[in-house]
Structure formats: structure tokens, C-alpha cells
Structure 1
Amino acid sequence: MIRLNCDLGESYGRWQLADEAAVMPTIDMANIACGFHAGDPLTLSRTLRLAKAHGVAVGAHPGYPDLLGFGRRSIPLSSEELRSLFLYQIGALRALAWAEGIELEYVKPHGALYNDMMCNEGIFLTLVEALADYDPSLKLMILASATAERYAKLAEKRGIGLLREFFADRAYTESCELMPRSETGAVLHDPEAVLKQVQRAVEEGVVLTPSGARIPVEFETICVHGDNPEAVELTRSIHRLLHPEPSA
């Protein structure tokens, strides 16, 4: 079964990004920020309680220490630095989750760290090895791209399972990578266009690029960004597509 995930817990103090109370009932998995790219301890605790109330699976969403750039800027780090940064954030969120009686199920790197992981095998292996040493039961979420098959074999050697992810509200390139946010049209805002992209991916197993190419894609989960202004409408529509009401 394909599950819908959303990046949440990314508000900070008085700055509120997503209507989490409206989004949470419509998703299956919540990727919760860990305080380095967004989120604060009180926000994270509230998001965790919402997830528990709605039976939503919880994953850690660690990123680079970049509050000003929302974690969307790469920061060069040694493997040792990255490992510590990664585990520190997962451990912090897990402490808050345990206090609410919740177990983490997976980890999804955020923003630039996610992109760097997908184009730099060394970074990917650092994260995989960190998870293997910390808790190999935690799965690592990656982009459903041409790289995914090779990454799955590398992760399997270290006892780590992967979750392949498709982005509902992002445009794709011919190599099945995400179009850079710096390019026009990289983020899809029209709910109808997003729903068509998801329906095509779910029913036909392909994504249509801006040039019209049909690229095969296989995935276990679909993401809608919580900071997308249309997040509530999008998650509701996609939830209905993935979980249709039984016929009378």
C-alpha cells in the first residue's frame, strides 16, 4: 500500500507554516523536523501529539543547521561531523517521541541534506552507517530515482531498509531527479496538476517531465510539503485517491 507523507513540525515560535491540525488526519506518515532547519521543542511535541491522536506514523526529519535558509543550503561537513549532526537530531526527536509514547519508524533527511545524499554516495553511506550503529530498525527515506536501486543494495549490506519516495508537488527531470527549486516550475502549486501527477504515478507508474517525457518511477510513499500553501487541499485530495471510500 502506498502511504502519504508530509513534512511537519517546521513552525518556529510565532512563525506558523502549516495547518497541522487540518493536515494530520489526511496523511499516513509525518516527517517531523528536529530543530536544526526548523521547529522548536514545543512545536515538535505538539506535532507528535497530533500524530499520535490520528494514528500517523512518525519519522525524524533532520537537516543541516540552517534556520535562516530553512535547511535548503548545503553545508560542507566531514563524515564525522555529519554523523554526529544526524544522530543528535534523531536522538532529540526520539526523546520527545518517547515522552508521548511514540516510536520512530524511519528517518527522512531534509532539504539540501536530502539532495546531497542522493547525489553523493559518500554522504549516503555516512547516514546509512550512522543508522546501522544507532538503530537498524529505522528505515531511511530516499528519492525514488535511477539511483535508488544501487542505494538499496548498499543499504542492505549494512542492514538498513529504504523507503522510496515520490514528490507530489515537485517537477521532475528526464533522469527522474527533482527539478532544482531555482528553476521556474520546480514546485507545483495547482492542486489539479498535482493530483494528475500523483494519479499518473500511482496508476501508470510514470512521471511526466516538463518536456513531455514519460519516466518510469517506483515508490512506497508520496510526499506533500507542509510549507506548500496548498498542503491541506493537496493532502485531502491525494488521501481520497489512495484511500477511496468503499462502494455502498
Structure 2
Amino acid sequence: MDLNADLGEGFGIWRLGDDEALLELVTSANVACGFHGGDPSTMRRVCAGAAERGVAIGAQVGYRDLAGFGRRHIAYGFAELRDEVTYQLGALDGFCRLFRTRVRYLKPHGALYHAAASDEAQAAAVVAAVGAYDRELPVLCAPGSVLAQLAVGAGLRVVAEGFADRNYLPNGSLVPRTAANALVTDPEEVAARAVRMATERTVVAVDGTVIPLQVESICVHGDSPGAVRSAGMVRATLIDAGITPKPFA
């Protein structure tokens, strides 16, 4: 089972999350590419750290929205979004090459992640960017989403993702971040949810509904409270359950 986290989301002198500590725990790093967070020096630093530790590097592409941290919806046209995703992929891949590695997968961030889950035009733009850049790149996204369906249809590999530190609604979507109960902050609960995803292939929604959830990768958000402790407990608990954390890509 892969364990991923969002890294490199600081900008300039502003740091978000503990990238170095998380790189010791995760198997895949979703690296911000400068649009919703991150900057060239941050990208270089995280790529160097990931390469040194054998952590797979993924391009976490987002809307051009630093002020809103990529969490505000933007009504992009197809070609513009396709090209902005391509731009971000290429920028991160350039830094990967400095450390004899490469971008191993793509994951949308924030509002783009949610838009591509249901908006066919935006999902198609992401798929077009990946297909033209490197058809071997997997797409990390929500299982059953529009993005997943279009990517499969285009012959791309799709890797289904579950969120150990986010609550789910009964329909299988995430509780909106505007809701008070959007996040799961207790590291022990986060770890228990991750093991359930890995072993029982289910998650319990906020109303107690048990939802089937077949995933290959589990995310712990790097900007969440207690992210390092949560990621550490998830990793240790998976190992205790006989599950070896390893990159999917």
C-alpha cells in the first residue's frame, strides 16, 4: 500500500508543513508545482530530498491561485487548463532530472481535484495533458470519479486514492472543508482508518454508513494538524498489520 502526502506547498519565506519529516515516512510525495503553492527553490529542495530517500515524486498540479491555495474553483477553458497542467508537469520534471529521477505520477490539488471528479471538461483537460506529456504517467485520483473514467478510457493507468485524515459523506465524496467535521485530526483515528482502507477496503462515513473503497494509495495531508505524527502512526500501524508501505509508481 502506498502512503502519500502533499509536500512543497510553502512559498518564499513562508513554510507549510514539515517536508523533511514527512519524506522519512511517506512512499510518494505529491509536490506542489508553483501554482497553488511551491516555488522553484522549494521544488528543488523537495525533489532532492525525495530522490535521496527513494520516495516517488508526483506532480500535484492545481489552479493558478496562490492567494486561495488552489481551493477556489476557476472556470477554465479546456485548452488553457490543459496547457497549465502541462506547464506544471514540465517544471517539476525539470527539477527531478537534476537528481537522476523523474515525475512518476500526477495528482490534481484542491479545487481542481474536486472539479475533475465531476466536471467532464476539466477532467478531459487533465487527461489530455498527461496523455500528451507521458502516457506512462499514472493519474492518482478518487475512485469512480469522472477523471478516473476518462483516464481509463484514454488508456492511462489510474491509481485510486483514499484519505485517512478526511471524513466522507454517505455518497462516497469528501466532507467539504467548509464543514466543521471535514478533517480527522486524531492520529490514532487516522491510522485506524488507513488500516481499514488497506485491509477491509471500506471507510465509515460521518453518518455511520460503511462505504466500499478500493484504493492503492492512502493520503495524509501535509498541511493538516499533526500531519507528521499521523503519517508516522499510519506507517507503523500498516507495518504492524503486515502491510509494507511502498510506492505504487
- Classify the TM-score, shorter chain: over 0.9
Q: Which residue is 1:9 aligned to?
A: 8
Work out the CA distance in 1 between the residues paired with 2:84 and 2:64. 8
Indicate the percent of aligned positions where both proteins have the same amino acid.
40
Q: Which residue is 2:60 aligned to?
A: 61
Q: Does 1:185 align with 2:184?
A: no
Q: 1:221 aligns with which of 214, 217, 222?
A: 217
1:152 Cα shift? 4.5
- Give 1:76-225 correspondences, 5 Å limit: 76-144=75-143, 147-148=144-145, 152-225=148-221
Q: 2:238 aligns with which of 237, 242, 245?
A: 242
Q: Does 1:48 align with 2:52?
A: no
How many residue pairs align between the two structures? 242
Unaligned runs of 5+ in 1: none
Work out the CA distance in 1 between the residues paired with 2:17 and 2:175. 23
Output the aligned Cα RMSD: 1.5
**Change in 2 beyond 3 A, CA 1:9/1:128:** same
Structure 1 residues 210-219 or 124-133, which shifts more? 124-133
1:180-226 Cα deviation digits (max 9, x unpaired): 10111001111122122212222221111111111110000000111
1:17-62 Cα deviation digits (max 9, x unpaired): 1111111111100000000000111011000111011110000011
**Change in 2 beyond 3 A, CA 1:166/1:19:** same
Unaligned runs of 5+ in 2: 243-249
Work out the CA distance in 1 between the residues paired with 2:130 and 2:207. 38
Q: Which residue is 2:247 aligned to?
A: none
